[in-house]
């Protein structure tokens, strides 16, 4: 996504957040504020925690005890601030590459959302300090490895929480790493001293995996429409038929809603194509290959999977996850809601369907390069086959991407490594599922970019026959920065340009200006 600065302000309160709110803050730097009523509610709930923290009260997990396998260790009153600070310091133990800025911002916003629910027992100042970091553009440095997707995204959240204490590592709004104390002072933010339970509340949620799921859904909803566009271009490049996309073959006969939507999109992009009309007049072939004829069934299945994943994401977004949690009557009780299984499953499922969507796109590309199957196109779409190799190795790159996506489709959620002296003996690996899905989505975009390049070149080589108006609009966007057919040239920049046009949405926008909003 292109980084933009938003003037929008998101309010945390009883109404919660929408997926669009999360994207606005994570990707477009929308400001966030705490609703006055929510602040009052959070403050009133805090009184329950303070009562439980009294010296004469029985030990309560997270308030007056240690954590994990040390849950039975009672902590004296004068050591409890040290307990919370030590928790954050010890849990900020991630390793590996830095996580992307948008992921960290989503992580912080979603944790603040749960803290603002009044279910965690923190003081309002904890939430307000986290929101101040977001609004100042201060981004804690979070590492790739450290979460098992259970007991919360512990290490990633701890790397965010430690910055609230004036410690750890962070970057400013321009992306420069600077001392945390300097960043906070410049923004007028006072480091906080954590009281009972607050350290635990800052790290005990599925916020990282949920944030990445919400962003993945936004990306995939665009890319599945792009896949219908590139398929329609490939149908024309291969002189395919449009009859299989007729609505009467889909919803009435096989009522999967995603399939009907995909077929309708492809038909809309093909509408009025002189190439398709010429194929119909020729009448020499009865059926196209599966990668053309079955495209709605595959892309439709992807759509239906996205719909299921969105339901899970919206439910998780409505949740208030912590352990222990404060109930409506003020009772503080342990629970297992921090387990990331529901989110992890759909993250893995999305990686599976993304890989298959890429796979069928690669098959269409390969068909356009094979003179035995391309119905009249030159080998590899080369200008002078033999001297020129055309798009031969672009397909290799596409195949390499698809192969990697198949590896990434192996589910993370079926794995579990016990931790914390066997107290946490079953974990979700949801963070890992989310991380590999992000890679898979980037690969899918590159695969579709190569199909776009290939299909556009194939259509150009069909001249004087013209493509549909919507297809011509897509090709026109590409041709602003990528030349048409000709002798071999440095191809990597062309692939990067095509990818950029999919990332910024300009190809899809050009098509939808002709067809109307695709489904």
> Do the beta carbons of residue 105 and residue 171 sit within 8 Å?
no
Q: How many angstroms separate the CA atoms of 72 and 421, rounded?
A: 13
Q: Give phi and psi for 389, each to the nearest 5.
A: -100, -5
> Do the beta carbons of residue 206 and residue 152 sit within 8 Å?
yes
Choosing from 61, 145, 290, 345, which is the catalytic residue?
61
Q: How many angstroms separate the CA atoms of 69 and 198, rounded?
A: 19
> Do the beta carbons of residue 121 and residue 332 sit within 8 Å?
yes
The sign of the CA dihedral 377, 383, 388, 390 is negative
Tokens representing 437? 């899905």
Cα 160 to Cα 121, 123, 175, 208, 209: the distances in Å are: 19, 17, 16, 11, 15
Q: Give phi and psi for 179, each to the nearest 5.
A: -55, 135
Q: H or E stretch including 43? A: helix 36-52
Cβ-based burial of 413 (10 A; exposed 0-12, middle 13-18, buried ≥19) = buried
Q: What is the 3-state secondary structure (H, E, C) of 359-391?
A: HHHHHHHHHHHCCCCCCCCCHHHCCCECCECCC
Residues 6+ apart with CB under 8 A from 261: 300, 303, 519
Neighbouring-strand partners of residue 142: none
Is position 61 annotated as part of the catalytic site? yes
Q: How many angstroms separate the CA atoms of 171 and 277, rounded?
A: 57
Tokens representing 439? 């890679």
Q: How many angstroms separate the CA atoms of 31 and 292, rounded?
A: 45
Any idea of the CA torsion for 143, 148, 152, 157, to the nearest 10 degrees?
A: -10
Q: H or E stretch including 12? A: strand 9-12
> Do the beta carbons of residue 164 and residue 191 sit within 8 Å?
yes
Tell me the catalytic residues: 61
């Amino acid at each position: 996504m292109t980084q933009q600065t938003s003037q929008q302000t998101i309010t945390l309160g009883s109404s919660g957040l929408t997926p669009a709110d999360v994207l606005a803050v994570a990707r477009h730097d929308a400001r966030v504020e705490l609703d006055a009523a929510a602040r009052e509610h959070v403050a009133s709930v805090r009184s329950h925690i303070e009562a439980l923290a009294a010296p004469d009260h029985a030990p309560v997990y997270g308030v007056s005890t240690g954590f994990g396998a040390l849950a039975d260790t009672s902590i004296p009153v004068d050591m409890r601030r040290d307990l919370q600070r030590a928790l954050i310091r010890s849990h900020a133990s991630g390793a590996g590459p830095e996580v992307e800025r948008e992921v960290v911002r989503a992580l912080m916003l979603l944790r603040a959302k749960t803290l603002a629910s009044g279910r965690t027992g923190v003081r309002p100042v904890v939430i307000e300090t986290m929101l101040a970091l977001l609004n100042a553009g201060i981004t804690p440095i979070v590492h790739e490895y450290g979460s098992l997707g259970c007991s919360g995204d512990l290490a990633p959240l701890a790397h965010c929480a430690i910055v609230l204490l004036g410690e750890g590592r962070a970057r400013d709004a321009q992306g420069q790493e600077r001392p945390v104390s300097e960043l906070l002072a410049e923004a007028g933010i006072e480091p906080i001293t954590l009281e009972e339970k607050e350290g635990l509340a800052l790290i005990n949620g599925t916020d990282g995996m949920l944030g990445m799921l919400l962003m993945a859904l936004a990306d995939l909803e665009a890319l599945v429409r792009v896949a219908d566009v590139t398929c329609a271009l490939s149908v024309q490049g291969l002189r395919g038929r449009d009859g299989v996309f007729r609505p009467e073959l889909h919803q009435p006969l096989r009522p999967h809603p995603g399939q009907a939507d995909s077929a309708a999109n492809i038909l809309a992009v093909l509408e009025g194509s002189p190439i398709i009309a010429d194929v119909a007049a020729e009448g020499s072939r009865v059926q196209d290959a599966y990668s053309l004829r079955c495209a709605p069934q595959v892309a439709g299945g992807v759509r239906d999977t996205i719909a299921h994943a969105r339901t899970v994401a919206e439910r998780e977004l409505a949740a208030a996850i912590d352990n222990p949690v404060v109930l409506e009557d003020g009772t503080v009780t342990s629970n297992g809601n921090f387990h990331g299984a529901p989110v992890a499953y759909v993250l893995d499922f999305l990686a599976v369907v993304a890989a298959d969507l890429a796979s069928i796109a690669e098959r269409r590309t390969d068909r356009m390069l094979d003179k035995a199957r391309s119905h009249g196109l030159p080998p590899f779409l080369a200008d002078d086959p033999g001297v020129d190799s055309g798009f031969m190795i672009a397909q290799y790159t596409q195949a390499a991407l698809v192969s990697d996506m198949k590896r990434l489709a192996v589910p993370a959620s079926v794995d579990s490594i016990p931790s914390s002296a066997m107290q946490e003996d079953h974990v979700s690996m949801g963070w890992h599922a989310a991380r590999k899905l992000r890679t898979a989505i980037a690969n899918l975009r590159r695969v579709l970019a190569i199909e776009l390049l290939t299909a556009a070149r194939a259509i150009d080589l069909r001249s004087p026959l013209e493509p549909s108006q919507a297809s011509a609009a897509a090709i026109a966007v590409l041709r602003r920065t990528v030349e048409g057919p000709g002798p071999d040239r440095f191809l990597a920049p062309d692939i990067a340009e095509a990818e950029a046009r999919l990332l910024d949405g300009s190809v899809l926008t050009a098509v939808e200006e002709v067809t109307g909003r695709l489904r």
